[in-house]
Chains A and B, each alone.
Chain A
């Protein structure tokens, strides 16, 4: 039940600027994920929204009202911390009801709200326990429960799952996504894990060095990364990158010269791609296939069998490493020489400044 708007938001510590002008508009009930490598300013940005850090420059609007000067306890947001930050001397019920009690809400109302949150989060059996006696996943649930009892305008999550083991992380991921649908609340979620971002977000904000690299729906970012950084960050395994030269234009396509001298035509309508330029060709692992008559050849280094598919790591004679995603089969072995076919339809081109050279029309299709 809240919209957030950031206008040229900056954060300076001493002499260093760690958030360098972020413009972003978050819609009501949207699930927005801030993703980026460690130290890129995600937490700082989230903490500025919460009011825990002062905004050095720019403006934050909550529901259209300037909020820079509103203290955190009056912003009506809720935050879930990476460390859970539970009150160690209170029971689970005490933790969840504390804010309501401090706000002077009647006992019956608090009990009802706590019971409701406990039901949603399956904490009913644990209400009398202290945090010390809970597992990581249960603590995480209590932290979320503490946030939802207040019915806040907006939820802020700072890497809430990074202290959990892999299996629990997957489970909590879907639970938080489900919670988002049930509560119909605006959520801002910070993570360094692109898988979390891809699976949970309505919209992803990719941050790098305190700047927004790209904002978009998960698939949009996957298919149409605005920069080499986003292309490399989103998607696992990473996008393959080849340094190539532009040989010329062929109507709706550009002809590229691959590192080994092979030629490849890539659909591109953009005049930005100048003949003779050195560019980077980005190819997702699924855009490559194993084909004896493929454009490239290379030696298999590693085969990762995933059951339905496999990841084949191939070293080309030019020492480029390519990862190919293909249907799993037993006949591929390390040290074997294979041919690699390229499906150019989903390829990306990046200029020397790292920015995408092709704006794809099919990105959202």
Chain B
């Protein structure tokens, strides 16, 4: 009796917390279906007639699809290259650790603590001089580098779950390193690699700082797309919300479809 009351209470608390976390997203979704005038009404309107005008306005002027395409290319490209580079790195760290492996892992994570804005000016100047400003290649390189520490860490911990004896048995049996990677490590770590790639795609999709600062008309991703609707004057909340919905909808959908893999990935392979 008492236990069922307690569990109902914790259930209620969980729902409340979830609602609190999801509130901005929900509010954004609601606002996107309002007219500009309804969007700024005080007190906020809870009951209103939904209209699709903001979506039409948001997609009409700006070429939503080309931004979306950039987001897809950048997030997939950055993830592909990050995994390709991280795979052998994580292999070496997991199965042939040296004296500096542990320190290297910690150091890699520590690079994530550097505020990106500190690197903005040098990166901007370098990109300007080598002609990478406002290019997808430039964004792919940056996103790849930013995700690399996390991708290496995750692959490393997934590889750590694979008994070293399996690779050692193959090694003694004359199977070389490339064959071990291709025929043993790749299939055995496939679920982990998938989780890692999913997370990397989402992070690259959501990356906004570099996208906003280094791109203009040509290589802008959906993050840059959103900023176009924030204006110093005039009514723009409904259009901004509609644009934001359009920007996050693909990744939200993608995330919910692959949720099971993502949870596995985020627990760093701790759950078998």
Greatest chain A CB density within 10 A among B172, B174, B187 is at B172
A229 touches B (CB below 8 Å): no
Pair B168/A81 contact, Cβ less than 8 Å? yes
- Which of B165, B171, B183, B188 is close to A98, meaning CB atoms less than 8 Å apart? B183
Cα distance A15–B163 when bound, in Å? 26
Min distance, Cβ A154 to any Cβ of chain B, angstroms: 11
Cβ-defined partner of B188 (8 Å) among A52, A73, A81, A88: A88
CB neighbours (8 Å) of A51 from chain B are: 172
Q: Which residue of B lies closest to A95 (CB)?
A: B169
Query: Judging by beta carbons under 8 Å apart, are A52 and B175 in contact?
Result: no
**Smallest beta-carbon distance A94→chain B, Å:** 10
Q: How far apart are A153's CB and chain B's nearest CB, in angstroms?
A: 12
A74 within 8 A of B: yes
Q: State whether A102 touches B183 (Cβ < 8 A).
A: yes
Which A residues touch B188, using CB under 8 A?
88-89
Residue of B nearest to A89 (CB): B187
Please measure, in the bound complex, the distance between the C-alpha atom of A26 and the C-alpha atom of B169, giving whole angstroms.
Answer: 23
Query: When the two chains form their complex, are residues A74 and B169 in contact, meaning their CB atoms are under 8 A apart?
Result: no
Contact A52 B172 (CB under 8 A): yes
CB-defined contacts of B174 to chain A, threshold 8 Å: 73-74, 76, 99, 102-103, 150
Residues of B within 8 A of A79 (CB): 168-169, 172
Q: Which residues of B contact A72 (CB under 8 A)?
A: 168, 171-172
Please name all residues of chain B whose beta carbon is closer than 8 Å to the beta carbon of A75 when the two chains form the complex: 172
Of the candidates A74, A89, A98, A143, the one whose C-beta lies within 8 Å of that of B170 is A98
Whole-angstrom CA separation of A73 from B174 in the bound complex? 4
B159 CB → nearest A CB, Å: 15
CB A141 to nearest CB in B, in angstroms, measures 15
Interface residues of A in 56-97 (CB under 8 A from B): 72-79, 81, 83, 85-89
Q: How far is the CB of B178 from chain A (nearest CB, A)?
A: 10
B184 on the A face (CB < 8 A): yes
A52–B174 CA distance with the chains assembled, in angstroms: 12
Report A-chain residues with C-beta under 8 Å of the C-beta of B169: 79, 81, 85, 143, 146
Tell me if B176 counts as interface (CB < 8 A to partner A): yes
User: Which of chain B's residues have a CB closer than 8 A to the CB of A6?
Assistant: none
Count A/B pairs, Cβ under 8 Å: 65
The answer to whether B183 and A85 have CB atoms under 8 Å apart is no
Within 8 A of A (CB), among B150-208: 163, 165-166, 168-176, 179, 183-184, 187-188
Chain B residue total in the interface (Cβ 8 A): 17
A83 touches B165 (CB 8 A): yes
Cα A277 to Cα B225 in complex, Å, equals 95
A268 within 8 A of B: no
A73:B168 contact, CB within 8 angstroms: no
For B183, list chain A residues within 8 Å (CB): 98, 102
CB distance from B37 to the nearest CB of A (A): 60
Looking at B166, B168, B169, B174, the one whose CB has the most chain A CB atoms below 10 A away is B169
The residues in A between 129 and 162 inclusive whose CB is less than 8 angstroms from any CB of B are: 143, 146-147, 150, 156
Q: Decide: B165 and A146 in contact? CB cutoff 8 A.
A: no
Rounded to whole Å, the gap between the CB of B165 and the closest CB of chain A is: 4
Q: Which residues of A contact B163 (CB under 8 A)?
A: 83, 85
Bound-complex Cα distance A363 to B237 (A): 98
Interface flag for A50 (CB, 8 Å): yes
**Which of B165, B175, B184, B187 is the one whose CB lies under 8 Å from A73?**
B175
A99 engages B187 (CB within 8 Å) = no
| Chain A residues within an 8 Å CB radius of B165 | 81, 83, 85
Alpha-carbon distance between A87 and B183 when the two chains are bound, in angstroms: 10
Query: Does the CB pair B172–A87 fall under 8 Å?
Result: no
In the complex formed, the residue of A with least CB distance to B178 is: A102
**Contact of A98 with B187 at beta-carbon distance under 8 Å, contacts A85-B163, A87-B166 already known:** no
Knowing A98-B183, A99-B175, the reply to whether A52 touches B168 (Cβ < 8 A) is yes
Which B residues lie within 8 Å of A98 (CB)?
A: 170, 173, 175, 183
Whole-angstrom CA separation of A146 from B172 in the bound complex: 11
Known: A52-B168, A81-B165, A87-B166. A146 touches B173 (CB 8 A): yes
Q: Give the CA-CA distance A87 to B165 in the complex, in Å.
A: 10
Question: In the complex, A76 Cα to B174 Cα: how many Å?
Answer: 7
Rounded to whole angstroms, the CA-CA distance of A85 and B179 in the bound complex is: 17
Complex Cα gap A160–B10 (Å)? 51
Chain B: which residue is nearest A75 at the CB level?
A: B172
Q: Which residue of B lies closest to A50 (CB)?
A: B172
- B173 to chain A: which residues have CB within 8 Å? 73, 78, 98-99, 102, 146-147, 150
Indicate the member of B165, B170, B171, B173 with the most A CB atoms within 10 Å: B173
> Chain A residues near B179 (CB, 8 Å)?
102
Which residues of A are found within 8 Å of B172, using beta-carbon distances? 50-52, 72-73, 75, 77-79, 156
User: Given the complex, which residues of B lie within 8 Å of A86, measured CB to CB?
Assistant: 166
- Give A69 Cβ to nearest chain B Cβ, in Å: 16
User: When A and B form their complex, which 10 residue pairs have the shortest distance between CB atoms, in order from nearest?
Assistant: A99-B173, A85-B165, A85-B169, A79-B172, A73-B174, A81-B165, A102-B175, A102-B179, A85-B166, A72-B171
* Chain B interface residues toward A at CB < 8 A: 163, 165-166, 168-176, 179, 183-184, 187-188
What would 6 A/B residue contacts be, using CB atoms closer than 8 Å? A51-B172, A81-B165, A89-B188, A102-B176, A146-B169, A156-B172
Q: A52-B168, A81-B165, A150-B173 provided; 9 other pairs, C-beta below 8 A?
A: A52-B172, A79-B172, A81-B169, A83-B165, A85-B166, A87-B166, A88-B166, A88-B188, A102-B170
